Amino acid sequence: MSEHFFEEEEFGRPYDGRIVRPERLTAAQLESIGHVLADLHTIGKSYKKGIDNRFSFERVADTYAEVRGRLPAYFKRIVRTLDDELDYLQNYLESKLPKGIIHGDLFHDNIIMKGDKVVAVLDFEAACRGKFIYDLATAEVLQSREYVALRDARVSIMTHAFLYGTAVFEGIRAYWNAEQGVLYGLKIREHMERIRHNAGMLLMEDLPSVDELVGIVIETVRRNGFREDAYIRPSFYKSTRAIGVRLHHLDHEMYVVTMPFGNYIDIDKGVRLMTSSWRRNADEALPARGKIVGGYVNMAFQKSEAELNGFDEALVLTPDGHASEASAANMFVVRDGILLTPPVNDDILEGVTRKAIFELAEAYGITVEVRSIDRSEIYVADEMFLCGTGVQLSPVVELDHRKVGDGEIGPITRRIRQGYFDAVRGRTPALAHWVTPIPIGG
């Protein structure tokens, strides 16, 4: 649901403010909400009966403990707020005061903000009864050819894919164009073609056709009614409950989950890379082109090493020392006006976004050269950027404490980035084949 503005008397009185989705709340807004909570905790006796009845503090606390671990990562600030509040209510609130509320007031359609200030709680009684903010738990997900609420989607801990990483997946973005009122799915068909190929690599057969998969993805997104940027993750996974390392004689199932999604890393100021000590897994060991779930542990080593050393991302080398890609993104380098990128036999993912960059470069008359790239060649390059579903198009300004070019976003990167973001939001008629309009439904 998008943000809603209230300037009319929709609720019996005028409110000059807006509802803000939980994942968009800023630290300042959370602090303001905290002050409101403090006031609500001391609410007088008229609500005490309701508080102590079936919406008791104990029941609310137990329910929160049950669902806390299922909340998505982008709720982390709110989870911290809830944790702090629960701790306060359990351990520090004066015993004579009612332990009334866990965060009905944070329920996204129950609070109105103006800037950083809370201007209204629409349903005060509901706030005092402990409603929850967990809208995402009711989002619909496709699992095993049925649409179910995310909270009801389950796999056993004995599932082969859980035990051994025997699954393939795709990451797809959908971009909201507010001016047009349209949600555009990016390169859905290309992603579905790739997941079918990769599933076959894991000996999965009898898969839906590309057309069927495209329809499944579109329907899953449509059912969630997003009016904001979203992420879509389809996956085929080995569903047999079995101990034993193998790929054959195992059943497989499919799921598609989708959620609101912003930037994976900062795409505006430029990212800082370090060369990882962890090499990319070679094709003859674990094919990077396969987008195999178990293989992403290799990327996790690289990403964590970079972040724990104060960088944004990792440059990953092949076993023979050539630049391969980032932890989970393809790379391009600019030298003397020519766009360079590693070949597919340098253990890269054959990226859908990478191919889109080829198309943009051709449209702009920029020469692309596909060849192996040495680490030191990047030190003397003019520009560099990463691309992929997660990182989108992210300029690189530093590698191993050395500026890339002049340490700023270069002209070729800037031009390609602008063209990319225009295209993905359906603003470029010549590239309309990139995107699929997705109906908004519920």
* Active site amino acids: 291
> How, if at all, do strands 140-143 and 167-169 pair?
unpaired
- Read off φ and ψ for residue 95, nearest 5 degrees: -60, -25
Q: Are 381 and 387 in contact (CB under 8 A)?
A: no
Q: How far is CA 74 from the centre of its chain?
A: 8
- Read off φ and ψ for residue 19, nearest 5 degrees: -85, 135
Q: Are 283 and 345 in contact (CB under 8 A)?
A: yes
> How, if at all, do strands 383-388 and 330-335 pair?
antiparallel
Find the largest Cα–Cα distance for the chain. 75
Alpha helix positions (H), 42-164: 48-52, 57-67, 76-91, 124-129, 160-164
Q: Residue 425 and residue 432: Cα distance in Å, rounded?
A: 9
Tally of CB atoms within 10 A around 366: 17
Write the single-letter amino acid at 188.
I
User: If you compute the radius of gyration of the chain from its CA atoms, what whole number of angstroms results?
Assistant: 24
Write the single-letter amino acid at 175.
Y
Range 167-204 burial, b when 16+ CB lie within 10 A, else e: bbbbbbbbbbeeeeebbbbbbbbbbbbbbbebbeebeb
Strand partners, 330: 387
Instruction: Give the burial class of 334: count Cβ atoms within 10 A of its Cβ; 0-12 exposed, 13-18 middle, 19 or more buried.
Output: buried
Helix axes of 76-91 and 57-67: crossing angle, nearest 10 degrees: 150
Instruction: Give the burial class of 77: count Cβ atoms within 10 A of its Cβ; 0-12 exposed, 13-18 middle, 19 or more buried.
Output: middle
